[in-house]
C-alpha cells in the first residue's frame, strides 16, 4: 500500500507513534508527512500531494475540526479524506467532525488494526 498520508498532531511523540502504527499496519511504503497543527497542515498541502489526513482534534493554532472545515472550503482539498483522532472521550466532538465532512473518527487509545481497518474502509485498499 503506497499513499501519501499527512499526520497532524501537536505532540511529536504521538506523530511518531502513529507513523510506527501505520508501518505496522502495512503502510511502510507510504510517504508520511507531519504537521504540528491545522495551519501547518494547510501550508504543507499547498506543495505536496496528500491522499489522506489523520489529525488530532485538540491542537493549538488550528484544531482538527478547524482543519476539516478549512479543507472543505478549498476545492483542491475538499475530496481528501480526513480521519479525526480524539483522546478526550467526547463523542460530540467526533460527531461534529463527521458532520463537517471528516471521513472517519478514531478514539484514543487505538490499535494498529483499528487504524488499518479505518484506512482500508476509507481508501478501499
H and E: helices and strands count for the chain: 5, 5
- Kindly list the structural domains of the chain, giving each domain's residue range(s) and its CATH number in brackets, ordered by start: 4-120 (3.40.50.2300)
Show pLDDT as tens, one digit a residue, over the chain (125 residues): 568 999 999 999 999 999 998 888 777 777 999 999 999 999 999 999 999 999 999 999 999 999 999 999 999 999 999 999 987 766 777 788 888 999 988 888 888 888 888 888 888 76
- The 8-class DSSP code of residue 86 comes to E
Three cell numbers written together for 90: 467526547
Q: Please tell me the distance from the alpha carbon of residue 115 to that of residue 51, in angstroms, as a whole number.
A: 15
Instruction: Measure the CA angle with vertex 55, ends 54 and 61; round to 5°.
Output: 150
Among the listed residues 71, 82, 83, the one whose alpha carbon sits nearest the alpha carbon of residue 39: 71
Amino acid at each position: 500500500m503506497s499513499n501519501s498520508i499527512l499526520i497532524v498532531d501537536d505532540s511529536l511523540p504521538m506523530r511518531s507513534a502513529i507513523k510506527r502504527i501505520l508501518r505496522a499496519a502495512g503502510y511502510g511504503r507510504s510517504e508520511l508527512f507531519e504537521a504540528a497543527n491545522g495551519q501547518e497542515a494547510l501550508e504543507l498541502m499547498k506543495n505536496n500531494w496528500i491522499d489522506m489526513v489523520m489529525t488530532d482534534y485538540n491542537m493549538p493554532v488550528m484544531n482538527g475540526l478547524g482543519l476539516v472545515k478549512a479543507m472543505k472550503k478549498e476545492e483542491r482539498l475538499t475530496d481528501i479524506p480526513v480521519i479525526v483522532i480524539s483522546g478526550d472521550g467526547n463523542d460530540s466532538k467526533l460527531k461534529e467532525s463527521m458532520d463537517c465532512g471528516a471521513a472517519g473518527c478514531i478514539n484514543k487509545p487505538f490499535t494498529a488494526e483499528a487504524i488499518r481497518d479505518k484506512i482500508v474502509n476509507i481508501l478501499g485498499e
